[in-house]
């Protein structure tokens, strides 16, 4: 009987431990999850809670301003949409956070700068 209770407690503990990482991973990402430096092939992004700075790599020429002020953010699961100032339709960028929150994927845009899909990694 004592052996059966020990096994039951162990299984309960394993079950609870398995649920904790899933619960943590299930929360929506926030601006805090992307704050910091992200390195890409052609540009690097540096996010704070209020803005983003784009730094070109090598001989890359920017087709837009290097400094963007954040108006607001909306999150859904592992995706976040950043709305830029001035607030106007199409002035936003969608990102997906993956790879244990070490990869930031900028989704291709059909409005705004109409940029392609870009992949960034924590610098």
User: What is the per-residue pLDDT across 111-123, written as a single tens digit (0 to 9) for each?
Assistant: 766 789 999 999 9
| CA 45 to mean position of chain CA atoms | 12
Tens digit of each residue's pLDDT (9 = 90 or more) over 1-42: 555 554 444 444 444 444 444 444 457 899 999 999 999 999
User: CB count, 10 Å around CB of 44?
Assistant: 16
In whole angstroms, what is the distance from residue 39 CA to residue 26 CA? 26
Residue 80 has pLDDT above 80, yes or no: yes
Q: What's the topology of domain 28-122? A: Lipocalin (2.40.128)
Residue 101 has pLDDT above 80, yes or no: yes
In whole angstroms, what is the distance from residue 49 CA to residue 31 CA? 6
How much is the mean pLDDT over the chain? 83
């Amino acid at each position: 009987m004592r052996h059966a209770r020990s096994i039951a407690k162990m299984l309960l503990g394993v079950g609870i431990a398995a649920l904790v990482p899933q619960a943590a991973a299930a929360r929506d990402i926030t601006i805090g999850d992307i704050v910091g430096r992200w390195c890409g092939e052609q540009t690097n992004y540096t996010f704070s809670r209020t803005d983003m700075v784009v730094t070109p790599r090598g001989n890359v020429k920017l087709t837009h301003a290097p400094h963007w002020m954040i108006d607001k953010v909306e999150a859904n699961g592992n995706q976040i949409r950043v709305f830029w100032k001035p607030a106007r339709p199409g002035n936003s960028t969608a990102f997906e956070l993956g790879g244990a929150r070490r990869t930031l994927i900028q989704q291709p845009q059909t409005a705004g700068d109409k940029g392609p899909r870009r992949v960034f990694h924590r610098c």
